Amino acid sequence: MTEPLIYELSASGRCGALLPAVGVPPSEIPAQFLRQELPLPQVSENDVVRHFVRLSQKNYAIDIGFYPLGSCTMKYNPKVNDVAAALPGLLWTHPYQPVYTVQGNLRLMWYLQEFLQEIGGFAAVSLQPAAGAHGEFTGIQMMRAYHLQRGDHQRKVVLIPDSAHGTNPATSAMSGYEVLEVGSDERGNVDLADLRAKCDDRVVGLMLTNPNTLGLFEEHLLEVLDLVHGCGGLVYGDGANMNALLGIAQPGAMGFDVLHYNLHKTFSTPHGGGGPGSGPVGCSAALAPYLPGPIVRRELLGECPEEEHEHDEDCYYYDWHMPECSIGRVKTFYGHFGVMVRAYTYIRMLGAAGLRQVGETAVLNANYLQQKIKEHFALSHERICMHEFVCVGRVEGSDVRALDISKRLIDYGFHPPTNYFPLIVPEALMIEPTETESQEMLDAFAEAMARIAEESRTQPELLHEAPHTAPMRRLDEVRAARDLVLRWEGEE
């Protein structure tokens, strides 16, 4: 049986914190900022520790098991990244410190800019945006500034394939643009005829995910880019999931004009709990003047003899630089530095050859699993996949749905795949194994899926009622959507 969650732990007079004596003269707090009634819980340190550890044990995490949540790249996050981010010299710097006291931080950011430029094939990178969707918003604002500066005021339409992540149309709409959907063909590519019909001088650009959210590499990529560029539009790349491309192919070299990276997906910062992320933006030379700033610039110190430049870090001074036509700041201070340290450490630890191996293994693992899963569930598209693939969560002759399959996977100890996305595949199960899983783990997952396919035929009610072993049984999702309660408001 599932034990109830206990929240009412407070007992009058109990306290879990000892505050040090104040070392400065106290000052008056304006009365309007003070509340007399503030029902804070009164709990001991022991109560608090047990409460949160108990909650964490009810949760599922990548550090517990396999987490094939497509489009989220739940790879294992090496702990050395956290060790680096916790180094006191990096952890305790303050954003108001003078630049000459934080040369190490700026050097790290400069190298990260360079690494991301090289990985993406771009001329420049800004590390400011705080997440993927924020990077998208930044990129679209740069495209807007570019068009406006050229006097192209009539461009108001953003083209978006029907397989796109929901943040793409949301970003465009938030930027005040009209979203025009482009269809997909039967092989899962952008429908070229539909795209051609929609390309005209009102087009701001196309937001394209490649490999797309079906896990498929766009087979007519260069034609797609030519069509959009041909009508004066720009091509935005959604690079949230770069695993398949790492060290193998550069979006900038393909012709993308601007792209965001998700450091918290591809570059191994833990995510999924709503914690800080980072969505740097890379772009072509034509768009570089519009990047949000400040970005880090490296300057050569005058007194250094020329033959020493290359290897002597002391020959360089790092400083902030605002690009000439910058769209401005998109984040307070300089972005999420701790996430940057993790990404920097990850890239440094792997090196160029290691990054390429990540890409190759991510694609190999996805194809290996795809071959095993397709014995039990139909694939959305019979193609070689990239870092992920989509199958149809339905079994001939059974009323079991993708949601039932996902919930049943919890009983088998796995996190479910992404459900009902992309929207163009009915009963979609989107599976991304990532490169950090062993063959044994992939086999165990495939075995669970095989058993679930069998159960769908023989005991469908078992699946309709799953999960059976999780701390929480199936939620009433309809009620949750209509009557959303986000705060614990005490026992009735």
Ligand X SMILES: *Cc1c(COP(=O)(O)O)cnc(C)c1O
Q: Which residues bind ligand X (CB under 6 A)?
A: 71, 131-133, 165, 167, 209, 213, 238, 240-241, 262, 277, 279
Which of 388, 437 has the CB closer to ligand X?
Answer: 388
Q: Residue-wise over 358-393: b if at least 16 C-beta within 10 A, else e? A: bbebbbebbbbbbebbeebbebbbebebbbbbbbeb
Considering the complex, what minimum distance in angstroms separates the CB of residue 231 from ligand X?
24
For tokens 């949301």, name the residue.
170
CA 190 to chain centre: 23
Q: Of all residues in this chain, which one has the CB nearest to ligand X in the complex?
A: 132
Q: By the 8 A CB rule, do 283 and 250 touch?
A: no
Which of 288, 339 has the CB closer to ligand X?
Answer: 339
Considering the complex, what minimum distance in angstroms separates the CB of residue 20 from ligand X?
38
Could you tell me the two tokens for 200?
A: 């005209």
Considering the complex, what minimum distance in angstroms separates the CB of residue 411 from ligand X?
27
Which of 337, 412 has the CB closer to ligand X?
Answer: 337
Which of 169, 323 has the CB closer to ligand X?
Answer: 169
Rounded Cα distance between 316 and 309, Å, is 8
Which of 117, 210 has the CB closer to ligand X?
Answer: 210
Considering the complex, what minimum distance in angstroms separates the CB of residue 237 from ligand X?
10
Which of 336, 408 has the CB closer to ligand X?
Answer: 336
What is the DSSP secondary structure assignment for residue 385, as one 8-state letter?
-
Considering the complex, what minimum distance in angstroms separates the CB of residue 167 from ligand X?
4
Considering the complex, what minimum distance in angstroms separates the CB of residue 41 from ligand X?
31
Rounded Cα distance between 77 and 345, Å, is 11
Which of 340, 446 has the CB closer to ligand X?
Answer: 340
Considering the complex, what minimum distance in angstroms separates the CB of residue 229 from ligand X?
22
Q: Select from 435, 449, 455 the least CA-distant residue to 379.
A: 449
Pairing status of strand 418-419 against strand 428-431: antiparallel
What is the DSSP secondary structure assignment for residue 3, as one 8-state letter?
P
Rounded Cα distance between 232 and 199, Å, is 9
In terms of C-beta distances under 8 Å and separation of at least 24 residues, what long-range contacts does 362-367 make, across chains too?
A: 362/243, 362/244, 362/246, 362/387, 362/433, 362/434, 362/435, 363/243, 363/244, 363/387, 365/433, 365/434, 365/435, 365/437, 365/442, 366/215, 366/431, 366/432, 366/433
